[in-house]
Amino acid sequence: MNKKRSNTLFITEVAVFTALAYLLDFVAGVLSLRIWPQGGSISIAMVPIFLMAYRWGVKGGLLTGFLLGLLQFILGFAQIYTIIQGIIDYFIAFTVVGLAGVFAGKIKNSLEEGQKGKWITYAVLGTFLGSLLRYFCHVIAGAVFFGEYAPKGQPVAIYSLLYNGTYMLPSFIISAIIIILVISAVPKRMILQKN
């Protein structure tokens, strides 16, 4: 594939997967407002970011995650109380999900070699890494900006770890399962995009 066509494909896929991630997060957010009043939801919005990270590497994942955060910020869906909190909870938190792309090469090699157990392991590790980094961003923002909601006598850090864990752990597990199912279902050439 020539470079110009590859760049066009990359930009198109980033746009489509960012829009898909936004829609998935929007639906989950609407359904979860009463459960997590300070923000957060069990969402599969990270799945498109992971798919871009595994297909295009870190650049695809980071850009898709950043644009998702930007869309949430611009379109008013985000719960922003201060500019710094908004940057941490949206721009940084969703951008770092794209670092799952560090496993893209290993996933592609394992797929090419037909080693199902290996690519699944690397895909889950990447999903875990991206989810963990996002979780840390939310924990930091929660401890700094939402400490007032901690129950009396509970350390703010513990409150933030628990609050954010209640939606991030299920989001990681569901995303990992979906990633495995999607990669298993699509033809290998769909993931094996040459960067």
H runs (alpha helix) in the chain: 3-32, 46-56, 58-74, 83-86, 93-97, 104-112, 116-145, 156-185, 188-191
Note the pLDDT of residue 179.
96
Note the pLDDT of residue 3.
78
| CB-CB contact of 58 with 95 (8 Å) | no
Residue 29 domain boundaries: 3-191
Distance CA 146, CA 168 (A): 17
Residue showing tokens 């869309």: 71
Distance CA 26, CA 53 (A): 21
Q: From the first residue on, what is the mean pLDDT of each consecutive set of 10 residues in the chain (195 residues)?
A: 82 95 83 64 92 96 96 81 90 97 96 94 98 96 85 90 93 96 85 63
Count up the domains in the chain and report the number: 1
Note the pLDDT of residue 51.
96
Note the pLDDT of residue 126.
98
pTM for this model (two decimals):
0.91
CATH at residue 135: 1.10.1760.20
- CB-based burial label for 153 (10 Å; 0-12, 13-18, 19+): exposed
